[in-house]
Every structure is written in structure tokens, then in C-alpha cells.
Amino acid sequence: MFILEEPYVSDMLVSVVAELGEPVLDTPKARAVLAGTPAESLMVSESEFAALAARPGARVYSNSENAIGWIAEHLAHTELPRRIEIFKDKVAFRELVADLYPGYRFFGLSSSELRSFDPSRLRAPFVVKPAVGFFSLGVHVVASADEWPAVVSRIEREVEVFAAMYPQQVLDLDRFVVEEVIDGEEFAVDAYFDENGEAVLVNVLAHLFASAEDVSDRVYLTDVPTVERLGAPALAFLAEVGRRVGLRDFPVHAELRIRADGSVAPIEINPMRFGGWCATDLAHFAYGFDSYRCYLRSERPDWARIAEETAGRTTALVVADLPASVRLSDIDSVDYDAFAARFSKVLGLRPTDFGRYPVFAFTFVEVPSDDLSELHRVLGADLTCHLRMRSGA
């Protein structure tokens, strides 16, 4: 079953919806993207969808956390809202797993408490982020206590810019979590919990950064060596989380760190979906299967076969994000050809509504596993060079 919402539904997801024939909640976004397609007839009313979703063993996939409000209202008698809330509230989630990380410190603060917070209560560097957040919006690394007042000022300015982009269930700029930096390599996984509560990986993605201060989501890459290296510790961590929450028939996109000793620590777990903005389609470009089908049909990737077929190549998602200093309403157009020319093999380029969101494309590229130079070059690149601004802006 599907709930299709803003901000983005890929053509690939529309094709999967039609192929699987699962019910789709009748929403304005679903009507817009399914109109004239074979999937248009799959839309059902709110009452019918709620009844189907409440059945034991029902599996619901939402491409976007914009659906959380509807779930909370119409499926309040099920376990879904409780499970979602545990993960969406970063403070609640950290409290859930706090005993696994003795000595780790974090604080939940309202936006009005940021100014008065004493930054010396945490070891620097530390991180401040919205307690309910998305897409690295409002996330800052604080290198020293002296930087705290300036960081708070930046957050206050960002609140005005970001507040209108997403509903409060997706990005809540009234509450924040301030926490110590977790050392280790950052990576992400798309996974689902089956009917027995077992976690099943459908992708593992290494998250590349330009520097220690970089908190962007610009580049994620995947290949079978990455899956083999990081998959097992990720599954062990997810198994423990699933046991504590009682997860069954449930998809997640988890952002994690792996320490030098091999232990895994959570950054966040996003419920009811895989990679946002249909970024989970990276599995199709890299390995030839789609994550949606895996979850809804209880299928498992054959990683041994995939390893033989994809040896020597790495597939990456490049998010063409824009700095907060760019006034989106001043952008007239984007030179997508010039942006695509940064890469030797583009598998797919998806323009986005850059007038509403601080990103102008999601791009899937392939590079040789022994040469990631194209990915490292784009990490620190100023992508505003591809923007054409309105006259007078």
C-alpha cells in the first residue's frame, strides 16, 4: 500500500505502483502523478485505505514523511503512530537507546532555550539539530563553546527560511537536540522489518563529506564491498532497535556511524520510508532491483549474484543542494547540461522545484570503484555557478 505525498514522486515509483497493483491513498499528490497512468485506478478513499492499513500484517510505504500527519489522525488506533513518533523525535529516540552508549551526552532544548544554554556542558565539537528534522536542514557542528552565540544566530535566521518548506511533523524548528559528536564513518541503510521482526537490508550507502565541518547530504555511494563491510553491523544494530520498539512490516532509512571498534551508533532513523525524495531508487541504478518491491513483496536482494554482476563499479547519488544564502525566488533557471558535464556517466538526472526547495537536482552517476575523483570534486564545489538568476537579483 502506498501513500504518495510531496515533495517528490519519481517516475520509477509510479511505474512500481502500477506494476504491484497496491492500493494508493487518494491525495492531491497521488492524483497529480498518477493521472493518465495505469495506476490511476488504484487510488482509494481515506476510509477504505485506513481500513486496509489497520489489518494485521498490512504494509504501508510512504515516499515522504509529509504523510505522518494523516497516519496520526486516521490510524491512531494502530501501532503505527507510536512507532513513527519514537523515531521522528530525536530526543525520544536517543532516550530509547541511551543505555547502549554510556557516557554519551545530549540535551533537548526548545528554540527559546538555545540562547541561554551553557555550551560548556558538552565536549566540543558538538552538534545542534532540529529534534524533528529532514535533509540536514538546521544542522550545525559547533567547534567550540565560543562559537555557540553565532550558531544560534544562524539558526534563528534559518528558521524564517525553512519553516514554510515542510510541515511540522517533518521539520520542527521549535525543538532542538544538542549532542556530542559521534566519531566514526557515517553511512546510511535502507531496510525493512519483515513479518517476524527480522531486518532485511535493501541498500547500504557510504556518506561522503568534504571536511569534518561538512554536514551536507551531497554525495552517497554504494557498491557491494560497501554492503559487505557495513551491512552486518547495521543489521545487528537494527535488530536491537526493532526488538525494543516491536517492529514488524515496517520500512526505515537509518543514518548511522560505525566506530573504530566496529560498534554502530545512530544518527537518526526515518520511519515509513527508504531514502527520501525517492533517492532509494539508487538501488535500481546500482543493482537492478527496486526497494519498494522488496518491502511490499518480502523479497531479499541476492547479494552474492549482485557482487558478480557489478564488480568494479560504484554508483552514487549526488544531491545538487544550495546554500541558505541563495534566495530561491531569485533563481530563473539552471544549466543542467553544465551540471551533468561534471560526470563521465550519468544514469539519471532529476530536476526538482528549486523555487520551493534548496536543491535543484538529484543525480545518479556511475564511476569506477578505484577512481572516485569525480565524487570528491563535486563534494566541495560551489554549485551556484549553474544557476541563472533573475535580472536585478
Domain boundary at 148, 180, 212, which? 180
Assess whether pLDDT exceeds 60 at residue 171: no
Assess whether pLDDT exceeds 60 at residue 5: yes
120/199 same-domain check: no
In this prediction, residue 251 has a pLDDT band, given cuts at 50, 70 and 90, of very high
Whether 207 is in a domain gets the answer yes
373/253 same-domain check: yes
Instruction: Provide the domain limits for residue 115.
Output: 105-180
114/260 same-domain check: no
pLDDT digits over 293-346, tens only? 999 999 999 999 999 999 999 999 999 999 888 999 999 999 999 999 999 999
pLDDT digits over 188-244, tens only? 999 999 999 999 999 999 999 987 677 788 999 999 999 999 999 999 999 999 999
Of residues 94 and 348, more confidence is placed in 348
pLDDT of residue 161: 62
pLDDT of residue 157: 77
195/277 same-domain check: yes
Domain boundary at 133, 162, 180, which? 180
pLDDT of residue 267: 87
150/239 same-domain check: no
Assess whether pLDDT exceeds 60 at residue 78: yes
74/150 same-domain check: no
74/172 same-domain check: no
Whether 16 is in a domain gets the answer yes
Assess whether pLDDT exceeds 70 at residue 18: yes
128/165 same-domain check: yes
Whether 269 is in a domain gets the answer yes
Percent of the chain with pLDDT over 70: 94
pLDDT digits over 81-101, tens only? 999 999 988 888 888 998 888
Whether 139 is in a domain gets the answer yes
pLDDT of residue 134: 55
CATH number at 169 reads 3.30.1490.20
Assess whether pLDDT exceeds 70 at residue 170: no
Yes or no: say if 173 and 106 are a contact pair by the CB < 8 Å rule: no
CATH number at 274 reads 3.30.470.20
In this prediction, residue 393 has a pLDDT band, given cuts at 50, 70 and 90, of low
288/213 same-domain check: yes
Whether 97 is in a domain gets the answer no
**Distance from C-alpha of 183 to C-alpha of 335, rounded to nearest angstrom:** 38
Whether 88 is in a domain gets the answer no
265/363 same-domain check: yes
Against a cut of 0.95, is the pTM above it? no
Whether 115 is in a domain gets the answer yes
pLDDT of residue 165: 59
303/239 same-domain check: yes
Mean pLDDT value of segment 340-362: 96
> Which range among 57-71, 80-94, 119-133 shows the weakest confidence by mean pLDDT?
119-133
Whether 89 is in a domain gets the answer no
Q: How many CA atoms lie within 13 A of 277 on its CB side?
A: 23
The b-or-e profile of 150-180 (16+ CB within 10 A means b, else e) is ebbeebeebeebbeebbbebbbbbebbbbbb
Assess whether pLDDT exceeds 60 at residue 135: no
Domain boundary at 116, 145, 180, which? 180
Yes or no: say if 255 and 184 are a contact pair by the CB < 8 Å rule: no
Domain tally, the chain: 3
Mean pLDDT value of segment 118-137: 79
> Which range among 20-29, 254-263, 338-347 shows the weakest confidence by mean pLDDT?
254-263
Q: What is the 3-state secondary structure (H, E, C) of the chain?
A: CEECCCCCCCHHHHHHHHHHCCCEECCHHHHHHHCCCHHHHHEECHHHHHHHHCCCCCCCEECCHHHHHHHHHHCCCCCHHHHHHHHHCHHHHHHHHHHHCCCCCEEEEEHHHCCCCCHHHCCCCEEEEEEECCCCCCCEEECCHHHHHHHHHHHHHHHHHHCCCCCCCCCEEEEEEEEECCCCEEEEEEEEECCCCCEEEEEEEEEECCCCCCCCCCEEEECHHHHHHHHHHHHHHHHHHHHHHCCCCEEEEEEEEECCCCCEEEEEEEECCCCCCCHHHHHHHHHCCCHHHHHHCCCCCCHHHHHHHCCCEEEEEEEEECCCCCCHHHEEEECHHHHHCCCCCEEEEEECCCCCCCEEEEEEEEEECCCCHHHHHHHCCCHHHHEEECCCC
pLDDT of residue 92: 86
In this prediction, residue 289 has a pLDDT band, given cuts at 50, 70 and 90, of very high
189/175 same-domain check: no
